[in-house]
């Protein structure tokens, strides 16, 4: 059986950069083993498989080259950008069934937005700054003192690490073996490392490392951007009048990506809804044979 896998760049900035994802539009009938094989053969950070759903417009399963994950922001953006550009869909609001729950997707002009779970901070792990610094090959003083290293999730758990300045961030030389060990210990996907020291309209520059899932680094991470939104809001680093943020990722990979986060708060200043999105550009396709 030959399966067509579309390659779509998600979170592009001005039609360039972004993070490529694989998208299988006709995923019905594929076993988990088939999907894992295809994702491994593609070698992209994630491949999304669209299937029929009894409870939503689509069911989507997400696989890295190493394992299935509950949710992937950039692969969702890629999937719906592809459906728009192939004229498969015409409406602008959808629901998707994922292992992280049933989530809304909204298409607006050339951008796709995925509503994520509200940020969760119910994780009590304490981090040794020395270990985190060692894993990133930096000094402890390069990590901000007045902000915590913290696990946050909007569907996937990441360790958020605040770095003092952009020069340090872009010159990180991570030890992926240590990051993998720390990820296993704390049961997270990986690191989302960021700085508020930017020279563009972006609110933060970011890098994401997930070697536990065979993704040493990726150039745009949707779920972690949702988590970062929650982190910045919790620690009062967002102007209370703001309802949207812009993150840039991928500079060190020469694939600058732009990720837009939009949110609403309730009367208690708690995030009530959160969506993350951006552009997606169809690139090409590849056929994979499965037994």
Residues designated as active site: 46
Cα(42)–Cα(223) distance, integer angstroms: 21
The number of CA neighbours under 13 Å toward the Cβ of 114 is 35
Tokens of 139: 């000094």
Cα(36)–Cα(284) distance, integer angstroms: 20
Q: Is the separation of the CB atoms in 49 and 27 below 8 Å?
A: yes
Q: Is the separation of the CB atoms in 248 and 258 below 8 Å?
A: yes
Neighbours of 198 (CB within 10 A): 15
Tell me which DSSP letter residue 141 carries. G
SS3 assignment, position 242: coil
Q: Is the separation of the CB atoms in 106 and 274 below 8 Å?
A: no
- Of residues 162, 219, 228, 167, the one with CA closest to residue 196: 162
Neighbours of 110 (CB within 10 A): 14
Alpha helices in 62-113 (DSSP H): 73-85
């Amino acid at each position: 059986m030959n399966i067509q896998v579309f390659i779509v760049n998600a979170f592009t900035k001005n039609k360039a950069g972004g993070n490529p994802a694989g998208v299988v539009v006709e995923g019905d009938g594929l076993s988990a083993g088939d999907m894992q094989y295809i994702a491994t053969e593609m070698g992209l950070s994630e491949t999304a498989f669209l299937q029929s759903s009894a409870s939503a417009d689509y069911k989507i399963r997400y696989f890295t080259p190493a394992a299935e994950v509950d949710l992937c922001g950039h692969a969702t953006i890629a999937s719906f950008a592809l459906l728009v550009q192939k004229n498969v869909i015409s409406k602008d609001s959808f629901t998707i069934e994922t292992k992280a729950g049933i989530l809304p997707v909204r298409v607006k002009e050339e951008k796709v937005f995925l509503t994520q779970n509200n940020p969760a901070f119910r994780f009590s792990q304490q981090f040794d700054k020395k270990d985190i610094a060692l894993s990133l090959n930096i000094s402890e003083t390069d990590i901000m003192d007045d902000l915590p290293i913290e696990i946050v999730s909007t569907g996937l758990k990441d360790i958020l690490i605040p770095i003092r300045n952009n020069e340090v961030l872009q010159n990180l030389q991570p030890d992926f073996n240590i990051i993998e060990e720390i990820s296993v210990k704390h049961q997270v996907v990986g690191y989302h490392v960021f700085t508020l020291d930017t020279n563009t309209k972006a609110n933060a520059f970011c890098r994401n490392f997930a070697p536990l899932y065979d993704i040493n680094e990726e150039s745009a991470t949707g779920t972690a951007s949702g988590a970062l939104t929650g982190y910045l809001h919790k620690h009062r680093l967002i102007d209370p009048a703001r309802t949207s943020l812009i993150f840039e990722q991928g500079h060190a990979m020469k694939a600058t990506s732009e990720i837009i986060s939009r949110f609403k708060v309730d009367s208690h200043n708690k995030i009530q809804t959160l969506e993350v999105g951006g552009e997606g550009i169809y690139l090409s396709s590849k056929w994979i044979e499965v037994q």
